[in-house]
Amino acid sequence: MDNKSLTRPLTPRDWTSHSPYIHPDYRSTVLRGPKRPLLPIKTQLADLAAPVYGHEDIGELDHDLTRNARRNGEPLGERIIVAGRVLDERGRPVPNTLIEIWQANAAGRYIHKVDQHDAPLDPNFLGAGRCMTDSDGRYRFLSIKPGAYPWGNHHNAWRPNHIHLSLFGSSFASRLVTQLYFPGDPLLALDPIFLGTPEKARDRLISKFTLGLTEPGFALGYEFNIVLRGDAATPMEK
Amino acid sequence: MTPGQTPSQTVGPFFAYGLTAEQYGYPFNSLFPPRIAEPRAAGEHIRITGRLFDGDGKTIPDAMVEIAHVDADGNPVTSREAAVASGFRGFGRCGTGTSADQSFEFHTIKPGVAAPGSAPHVNVIVTMRGLLVHAFTRLYFEDEAAANAADPVLDSVPVERRATLIAKRIALPEGVEYRLDIQMQGPDETVFFDL
């Protein structure tokens, strides 16, 4: 294989599944989203190497947000398990791929210095984690259910409970930054960020409660599968 | 079959303790720091810097920039082991919230030619609060005028917009810096690609 070009045509980004850049209900988009049409670029003309990393880069507790920042006890809140698979559009697993997550604590407060929401920090909770998928594309996090929090987008605006996720997949072009929501959250119907997504694709952002992932006496389980752009064609054998 | 691509959502304002923790002083190690090349890595060592501007011309203090490029010989980094051996990791991340003027700043090496006919370039992803889908662009080098003139991607960009992709070379006592500001909107809106 010619390792100089790494030309792997991907399935195109499906713009009918993604928000437009300018979505005025989400005020920050108005001055920040590009206004001119994106220019096409042939993937054959792009070097598409994804960043390199390995299982040895991931700490033993990186996937367990209930334990990876403890100082003097357990974090407060409802323990949850978030697990699922990373797949490409044909349903093929994306193995050994990195998932990074970050979230608010159970009170709806981010540890980020800029978050001034008047809710308590939890000394035993950072809210950041990561893991890699296994050979079958499966991943699993332990965490605390994040709280809702207010934001300044409009009067009495509250973000639904959510977890942020960042993935690369197998190519620089399959990059995805997204958010996971929880089933039955009444704030979803009011959230301009969630509602920026075309209606047909919104359900893909909502995790599913499942007893199968729930551990008796320990934590509720939520399934969240992630679908990335994948190779447009089956690799040819040489 | 699957239900289709998982939709993108904004990275939000509070990514720093997860994605760029060391740069911002949070107690979590970073997999992708803004130093992409160790001093021992082969090639011309450079800094890549710039700022992001919104449609009002204000600098953006809560963006994250990711860059990726080939090594000095034009080869991509294909494994963690290769990156450890060469001191060049090929990819880095930087938030715009830690410098006084909201700059991003990468320490890296100048990339070689990735494919015949293409000019040396850096792949760039920008993401921020208010951006519902990350935006993809490229950085080219001012002092590669001949190669730039032949580059098929630059050639696909309308002539009057090409300057938005070309970084200025600034020779400083501490080394060479390439500077490219990214305009999210406005008359000089940066060219973003549908990669």
Q: Give the nearest chain A residue to B3 (CA atoms).
A: A204
Structure tokens at B61: 């203090």
**Model confidence band, residue A126 (pLDDT cutoffs 50, 70, 90):** very high
State residue A8's pLDDT score.
64
3-class state of residue B84 by DSSP: helix
Give backbone dihedrals phi and psi of A202, rounded to 5 degrees, phi first. -65, -35
Please name the amino acid found at residue A225: N
Contacts of B132 in chain A (CB under 8 A): 18-21, 23, 26, 29, 33, 193, 196
State residue A47's pLDDT score.
81
Q: Which residues pair with A209 in a beta bridge?
A: A222
Tell me the H-state helices in chain A.
Answer: 29-32, 192-195
State residue A237's pLDDT score.
36
CA distance A103 to A79: 14
User: How many CB atoms within 10 Å of residue B141?
Assistant: 22
Contact B77 A52 (CB under 8 A): yes
Diameter of chain B measured on Cα atoms: 57
State residue B131's pLDDT score.
98
State residue A206's pLDDT score.
98
Q: Which of A3, A102, A199, A229 to mutate to test the interface with B (most CBs of B within 10 A)?
A: A102
Contact A177 B127 (CB under 8 A): yes
Half-sphere exposure of A174 (CA within 13 A, CB side): 28
Diameter of chain A measured on Cα atoms: 61
SS3 of chain B: CCCCCCCCCCCCCCCHHHHCHHHHCCCCCCCCCCECECCCCCCCEEEEEEEEECCCCCECCCEEEEEECCCCCCCCCCCHHHHHHHCECCEEEEECCCCCCCEEEEEEECCCCCCCCCCCEEEEEEEECCCCCCEEEEEEECCCHHHHHHCHHHHCCCHHHHHHHEEEEEEECCEEEEECCEECCCCCCCCCEEC
Asked if A183 and A208 touch (Cβ cutoff 8 Å), the reply is yes
Q: Is the dihedral of CA A14, A29, A104, A130 positive or negative?
A: positive
Q: Residue A238 pLDDT more than 60?
A: no
Q: Is the dihedral of CA B63, A51, B19, A175 positive or negative?
A: positive
Asked if B8 and B133 touch (Cβ cutoff 8 Å), the reply is yes
Give backbone dihedrals phi and psi of B57, rounded to 5 degrees, phi first. 80, 15
Q: How close, in Å, is residue B147 to chain A by CA atoms?
A: 15
3-class state of residue A232 by DSSP: coil
State residue A185's pLDDT score.
98
Angstrom distances, CA of residue A75 to CA of A39, A66, A124, A182: 47, 6, 5, 20
Q: Is the dihedral of CA A84, B12, B20, B47 positive or negative?
A: positive
Q: Known catalytic residue: A139?
A: no
Lowest-pLDDT range of A4-13, A66-75, A113-122: A4-13
Q: Known catalytic residue: A149?
A: yes
Q: Mean pLDDT over all residues of chain B?
A: 97
Strands B103-109 and B45-53: antiparallel
Alpha carbon B165 to its chain's center = 11
Q: Which DSSP helix (H) or strand (E) runs through B16?
A: helix B16-19
Q: Known catalytic residue: A222?
A: no
Quote the ipTM score: 0.97
Q: Residue A3 pLDDT more than 70?
A: no
Asked if A205 and A179 touch (Cβ cutoff 8 Å), the reply is yes
3-class state of residue A112 by DSSP: coil
- Nearest by CB to residue A4, choosing from B2, B8, B75, is B75
Q: How confident is the model over A30-42, as pLDDT tens digits?
A: 999 999 999 999 8
Structure tokens at B65: 């920039």
The CA-CA-CA angle for residues A176, A178, A181, to 5°, reads 150
Supply the DSSP symbol for B9. Answer: -
- Nearest by CB to residue B31, choosing from A26, A57, A91, is A57
**Model confidence band, residue A4 (pLDDT cutoffs 50, 70, 90):** very low
Asked if B96 and B62 touch (Cβ cutoff 8 Å), the reply is yes
Q: How close, in Å, is residue A182 to chain B by CA atoms?
A: 15
Q: How confident is the model over A182-213, as pLDDT tens digits?
A: 999 999 999 999 999 999 999 999 999 999 99
Q: How close, in Å, is residue A12 to chain B by CA atoms?
A: 8
- The arithmetic mean of pLDDT across residues A94-114, rounded, is 95
Structure tokens at B125: 């992803």
Asked if B25 and B153 touch (Cβ cutoff 8 Å), the reply is no
% residues pLDDT > 70 (chain A):
94
Asked if A33 and B132 touch (Cβ cutoff 8 Å), the reply is yes
- Nearest by CB to residue B14, choosing from A52, A69, A112, is A112
Q: Known catalytic residue: A162?
A: yes
A45-61: b (≥16 Cβ within 10 Å) or e? bbbbbbbbbeeeebeee
